[in-house]
Amino acid sequence: QVQLVESGGGLVQAGGSLRLSCAASGRTFSSYIMAWFRQVPGKEREFVAAISGSTSTTYYADSVKGRFTISRDNAKSTVYLQMSSLKPEDTAVYYCAAKERGVPTVQYTYKYWGQGTQVTVSS
């Protein structure tokens, strides 16, 4: 069983930056594929970024490429999402997710989810 706890959300002005953190429990964190998804009320949850466990290969949605950076610290069992040049359309609840294998960008195969953290970008 893996538990995920997100932190770092908040209110920021357009153009600003935030860093989200996701702390994971469990001994095999380094082997998990970790990802961030986001959801706006009334819309489907969407993929934001993912990072593989073995090679730390990163994957990004086109909408955040060049602005967001996903990284992991296996010693701290934590994954981060550094968000820069934020736009009002980035406003959403951001969720951390983990799984042991599979395609990193495929949402429905993620087994473990955090409770979410709100990010609000004002214009």
Q: What is the pLDDT along the chain (123 residues), one digit of tens a residue?
A: 899 999 999 999 999 999 999 999 977 899 999 999 999 999 999 999 999 997 899 999 999 999 999 999 999 999 999 999 999 999 999 999 999 999 999 999 999 999 999 999 999
Three-class HEC string of 21-35: EEEECCCCHHHCEEE
Instruction: Kindly state the DSSP code that residue 100 receives in the 8-state scheme.
Output: S
